[in-house]
Structure 1
Amino acid sequence: MAWQLHYTSARSGPTGRAGFQFVAETPGLPDGVRAGVTPYLSYRPPPDAPPSPGDAELALFPVSLLYDRVDGRPLLLRCRYLGRDYSGRYGNFFAHAVVAEPDELEGLRPAELWSAPHWAHVPDPGTAALEPLDELAPGAALDPESLAGWLPGAAKGDPYALLAHLVDAVAGVLGQGHGRVVLVADDVELIARWIAVVSYSLPVAAAARLSFVTYTADPDGAAQRLVGTTPAVWAAARHRASHAHVFDLREGAPAGGTSRFARTVAGCWRGPDFAGLDALGELAPLNDPAQEGAAALLALCRGDTTVTAAEEGAAAELLSRRGSAIPERVWRDLVPGVPSMGLDLALALHERALAAGAADVARQCSLRVGERVAEALAAASGLPEVAAAAGVAERAGVRLDPAAVAAAAARCARLGDAGLGAALAGCPAGLRDALLDGVLTGLADAGERERAAALTPANCDLLQEHPERLRAVPAVAGAVLASVGRRHPERRIQVTGELLRLAGDVDAALEEVWRVPPSAGECAALLDAHGDAMAARAPLAGLPSRAFTRLAFPGGDGLAEPAVLRLAERVREVLPGGRAGRDAALVQAYGTAITAGAARAARALAEIAGSGGTTPQLAGEAFVGAARRLARRPPAFRAELLAALPAPVRARLGERWTAELPGRARSGRAPLRGGEAEQRNDLVEVVLRMRTRGAADPALEAWARAAAGRWLAGRQLDVRLERSPRLRAALRDLLAGGDSPRGGR
């Protein structure tokens, strides 16, 4: 059922007041309908219309038929200019509104109601209650057959080209959900006909969403998607540039191309081919009537050979997304075109045929997919394309030759393609080995630049997971393993094992893996895992020495760690000869020098100082570190240590101890702060104790004589040594410039 409302300017309406008002309506009007209709009730004559028209002139004023929705219900509103109202003033109009339930327009295009018999032309003064409309019957003037006969002469130039542009524009605003298309013409009947043609060109559901108005004096403010107006109104519009789609029906089609959907629609009207329009309506998605897939499908069903690859792709996407909603006759009509179909479309048709149990169709599609997959493999420019082709073959049940996959992958890898990760993820499980073999073969043959481009860190990590395949291509394996080992220190020992299994020279890769020296624990683990091979590989044989040297800085502190001493012992077991073994012996001597008694410490320190064939940086830092640690021992121990050393080593150690003193204590300047005096006095005592042993170092004694010769220092030392007459005597003797009691050694 549909409700009716009449609206005009009256002397006295149902409420008793004068002016514009609803003068009649269907009883039982739902709540809110009257308020929803009110904003649409307006009519303004074109600016070039006569201001005081007579009866004959009134018939020339444009009639406005509006279609929109109010609270979900279809609204059809017809406005007609009446001229003068009850008071004799111009500006009166009559609006006849019909508000229907949604299902009242089912299967009906609103534009068909342009000349429907239910429209009243003027209000009936004696009627306040209007009958409900049980049926909305269309008028006879805008049926499809009449419009098809009218179209050939409907516009300047090619009217079908104009129609195609119109369809594209309307489909665009419907798809976007905003915007409007403006039609400009002197004759509102012409506008109504074009609106009807466009409405018939769309699926019924899409036409139901196409709001329109055949005439408005405010095209800038119209809320409808398809808006008609006159040239005079359009010339006076303030924001003409804001309309993206404007068609002056007096000028014909604009320049530019149109979509296949729009061209197909125009072709159906040219036929006329209403079955084709119906087919498009069945195929096109409801939310996007301009979907190229619908037109492409129709063209393919009719054997059209001009369908492009992109249009085939749109058709395939439509089939895949709406397969169950596609009419069965479409599938049947598509079968003859299978031999010339593209890959995506053949695959979509194959899957639908399988679902429908059409074995013959599926078999034909499978053969076509096999042909296209072979072509795709031959033309693939990247590894993901190779994997995609393999995946398509699997979906279509086509057995693909692994050698063909490998050859395509090799070609892509040879060119430096880096898409291995995506390719492995998209490749069917049964063909991944072939893909990997092809990639490795291609990388082996690739140029240096192309190989480097393909061997990204991520790809190296992937390839390292296939050690057996890598070993077959040592040139590639070395680069892969070097990258993995360099970036993943925790995997360096495992990577080293893989490199040692390769044929050929892998020293460069080993150097890259071990560019950063190992820790003590890592070096020990490497010895345990590959000790037998380390001596034969220079990059590995030098690792213990590099580890020791790194740990020795600064000041040899790291060499005292238990893990380092255990490493030194392990190195001497596994690599007794060469620099690594000698450096390990030096590290052990360092451990002895800082922990043993004076006699053993002296022998160990002499070994460090005189170690030949060791790493110079290691030996130097070990001596400095040992000297620093030994400087913390009591004066009696230090004196015994010095006395036990050969004179050159004694002089070197004395020099280090002097250098370790704070600046003022070393130079003899006063006053000294805090523990500085204690450090100076300790070293002076060491010199005095050495004199009592008959040992001396000239440089050290010279420093002690200068340091103790100052008045304050002498007083402090005299107090310190008051309980040791022998040392006090040695101090006096030192200051007097005498030799040690038994002479120096």
Structure 2
Amino acid sequence: MRSDITTETPPGVVVHRLRLRPAHEDPALLVPAGDTGLAAGLADQIRRLAESGIRGTGPVLTYSRLPDGGSVLCRFIPADNSSCLDVRVAVLSEEAARARLTPIDAWPEECWTTRPGTLTPRPWIDRTELVRFAAEARGQLPCVLADVRELFAGRAGPQILLVERRPHDVARWIALICASLPQQAARELTFTTSATRPYAAFEQIVGVPPEAEFAFSEVELRHLYRVRSAEGRCSPALGDPWAEIAARLWQHGRPELITDTARIPLGAPFDAGRLAAVALLELLPVGREAELLAAAWISRPENTGGMAQQDVDGLMDALTRIDRAAVGAAGPRPAALGQILRAFRSLRRRATPEVAAPVALSLGRAALRTALDRCAVVSADPLADLGLDRADRERLAAEFGAEVRAVLDAGDSSSAERAGSLVLARALELDPSGPYECAANRRTV
């Protein structure tokens, strides 16, 4: 997915090979078979990684932090005809961790064997395959992305356990997750693709085979871990707008938009409103509530100040699509419409007049329809700040004048309803004493 994958050993990388064997005093423990050439603390960390249950599960890739600020990539391979593990270790300095290396790019065996003693990450899963995987996992995808976003919150969320039969499927999950994250976050994410004893694992994302030694208790599922499985027990879903929108973009086959900054400058990480606005610009449906989040984001002028003119116009035009959602079959939604009107007023200062005019007319219709259904609480001109010209107001008067007069003339209208209808009559420049006549020019409408 990413175009910035390096094909050379990143700066500061040292690659070692070692073998771990069962300890004589306790076969459940692993110890190095001979001198490792590694610092004692690093050798102990690799041993602890192995003891989280890597043996017997096929090739496993782990990425972990080191106390000195560096990190370590390990590929564990069960040794032939023995209970030992062969381990390839790439020690990444802090400089290397900041370089163009996303750790999951080191999943293929060829990355470790093409040039002995070096690590050569390379693309191994393309966009088409990731989109296909996202479609297969559509039921879990919003939950997993919500869990990942929680990892990067001010107070980091709990470990994520991905229950899959094959480490390769966990690697696909991690590749999908990394493609959904800002590059720096993708490079910092720690993981292991398989651990049969996940209680001993300390990475942020842990692959767990179904036969793992894990209780799946209610407390663990709800509070201690985020567990995701297509078949077994899972943690409750987290309602997360950013994750929902990102998952929809995967389903649309446009995951690159999740991290794209070409049309809308990057703001706060995981901003659901901004991501919904990106989808609006690309004419991709992401749901009514998400579009209203986009409207709220657009309504803040500082968010759109750095955008190109054509993209400002694109967002302005998109407001008519949100308008149809706000005034749907179930009737007007005043709060939603108010949010869209605020977005329009924010964009109107910069939008091309020819683009803004039809949007203003459409929103004027929606505002009048909402006001007529709530006449008793109307106290201000609902068309204010839309920039409607006289021709547009006359068009709206022709469409809504009869309904306004009907409220005025109804014998059972309350005083509040009559007062509200008078506000609407003035907004449409109707003469309330005549038969639906435009007070501006006394022309019957």
User: TM-score if structure 2 supplies the norm length?
Assistant: 0.60
Cα distance in 1 between the residues matched to 2:309 and 2:65: 35
Q: Residues 63 and 214 of structure 1 are in contact (CA less than 8 Å); yes or no, is this contact kept in structure 2?
A: yes
Cα distance in 2 between the residues matched to 1:212 and 1:343: 44
Cα distance in 1 between the residues matched to 2:220 and 2:212: 11
Match of 2:144 among 166, 170, 174: 166
Task: State the percentage of identical aligned residues.
Answer: 17
Cα drift, residue 339 of structure 1:
3.2
Structure possessing the higher relative contact order (Cα contacts under 8 Å, 6 or more residues apart): 2
Cα distance in 2 between the residues matched to 1:159 and 1:322: 33
Cα drift, residue 246 of structure 1:
1.0
Residue 257 and residue 328 in structure 1: after superposition, are their counterparts in 2 closer, same or farther (change >3 A)?
Answer: farther
Opposite residue 293 of structure 1, the aligned amino acid is G
Match of 1:345 among 326, 340, 350: 340
Cα drift, residue 332 of structure 1:
4.0
Q: Residues 161 and 227 of structure 2 are in contact (CA less than 8 Å); yes or no, is this contact kept in structure 1?
A: yes
Give ranges in structure 2 of 5+ residues lacking alignment: 1-10, 22-30, 324-336, 394-403, 409-414, 427-445
Residue 378 and residue 299 in structure 1: after superposition, are their counterparts in 2 closer, same or farther (change >3 A)?
Answer: farther
Q: Which secondary structure does the structure 1 equivalent of 2:13 belong to?
A: strand
Q: Which secondary structure does the structure 2 equivalent of 1:311 belong to?
A: helix
Cα distance in 2 between the residues matched to 1:82 and 1:345: 59
Residue 139 and residue 171 in structure 1: after superposition, are their counterparts in 2 closer, same or farther (change >3 A)?
Answer: same
1:230 is the counterpart of 2:226: no
Q: Residues 218 and 237 of structure 1 are in contact (CA less than 8 Å); yes or no, is this contact kept in structure 2?
A: no
Give the structure 2 partner of residue 143 of structure 1: 126
Cα drift, residue 315 of structure 1:
0.7
Opposite residue 23 of structure 1, the aligned amino acid is T
Q: Residues 54 and 76 of structure 2 are in contact (CA less than 8 Å); yes or no, is this contact kept in structure 1?
A: no
Cα drift, residue 167 of structure 1:
1.9
Q: How does 1:44-63 map to 2 (within 5 A)?
A: 44=50, 60-63=57-60
Cα drift, residue 361 of structure 1:
3.6
Cα distance in 1 between the residues matched to 2:373 and 2:226: 42
Residue 216 and residue 306 in structure 1: after superposition, are their counterparts in 2 closer, same or farther (change >3 A)?
Answer: closer
Give the structure 2 partner of residue 94 of structure 1: 87
Count of equivalent residues: 363
Q: Residues 180 and 226 of structure 1 are in contact (CA less than 8 Å); yes or no, is this contact kept in structure 2?
A: yes
Match of 1:301 among 281, 291, 308: 281
Deviations along 1:531-579, whole A, 9 cap, x unmatched? xxxxxxxxxxxxxxxxxxxxxxxxxxxxxxxxxxxxxxxxxxxxxxxxx
Opposite residue 36 of structure 2, the aligned amino acid is V
Q: Residues 54 and 196 of structure 2 are in contact (CA less than 8 Å); yes or no, is this contact kept in structure 1?
A: no
Q: Residues 134 and 141 of structure 2 are in contact (CA less than 8 Å); yes or no, is this contact kept in structure 1?
A: no
Q: Which secondary structure does the structure 1 equivalent of 2:49 belong to?
A: coil
Q: Residues 49 and 201 of structure 2 are in contact (CA less than 8 Å); yes or no, is this contact kept in structure 1?
A: no
Q: How does 1:669-684 map to 2 (within 5 A)?
A: none
Cα drift, residue 3 of structure 1:
2.4
Give the structure 1 partner of residue 73 of structure 2: 77
Cα distance in 2 between the residues matched to 1:264 and 1:329: 23
Q: Which secondary structure does the structure 1 equivalent of 2:171 belong to?
A: helix
Cα distance in 1 between the residues matched to 2:68 and 2:370: 53
Cα distance in 1 between the residues matched to 2:342 and 2:308: 18
User: TM-score if structure 1 supplies the norm length?
Assistant: 0.39
Give ranges in structure 1 of 5+ residues lacking alignment: 12-17, 26-32, 50-57, 125-129, 153-157, 416-430, 435-745
Cα distance in 1 between the residues matched to 2:187 and 2:139: 24
Match of 1:114 among 107, 113, 125: 107
Q: Residues 14 and 91 of structure 2 are in contact (CA less than 8 Å); yes or no, is this contact kept in structure 1?
A: yes
Deviations along 1:635-687, whole A, 9 cap, x unmatched? xxxxxxxxxxxxxxxxxxxxxxxxxxxxxxxxxxxxxxxxxxxxxxxxxxxxx
Cα drift, residue 214 of structure 1:
1.6
Deviations along 1:318-339, whole A, 9 cap, x unmatched? 3325324557664343343333
Please identify which structure carries the higher helix content: 1
Cα drift, residue 108 of structure 1:
5.5
Residue 371 and residue 167 in structure 1: after superposition, are their counterparts in 2 closer, same or farther (change >3 A)?
Answer: same
Please identify which structure carries the higher strand content: 2
Deviations along 1:316-368, whole A, 9 cap, x unmatched? 2333253245576643433433334344235335424524x634344455545
Give the structure 1 partner of residue 329 of structure 2: none
1:23 is the counterpart of 2:36: yes
Cα drift, residue 10 of structure 1:
8.6
Give the structure 2 partner of residue 155 of structure 1: none
Deviations along 1:462-481, whole A, 9 cap, x unmatched? xxxxxxxxxxxxxxxxxxxx
Residue 93 and residue 106 in structure 1: after superposition, are their counterparts in 2 closer, same or farther (change >3 A)?
Answer: closer
Opposite residue 224 of structure 1, the aligned amino acid is E
Give the structure 2 partner of residue 66 of structure 1: 63
Cα distance in 1 between the residues matched to 2:265 and 2:202: 26
Q: Which secondary structure does the structure 2 equivalent of 1:6 belong to?
A: strand
Q: Residues 43 and 79 of structure 1 are in contact (CA less than 8 Å); yes or no, is this contact kept in structure 2?
A: no
**Structure with the greater alpha carbon radius of gyration:** 1
Match of 1:334 among 296, 315, 323: 315
Cα distance in 2 between the residues matched to 1:281 and 1:234: 46
Cα distance in 1 between the residues matched to 2:360 and 2:305: 20
Cα drift, residue 173 of structure 1:
3.5
Cα distance in 2 between the residues matched to 1:7 and 1:279: 39
Opposite residue 277 of structure 2, the aligned amino acid is L
Residue 118 and residue 243 in structure 1: after superposition, are their counterparts in 2 closer, same or farther (change >3 A)?
Answer: same
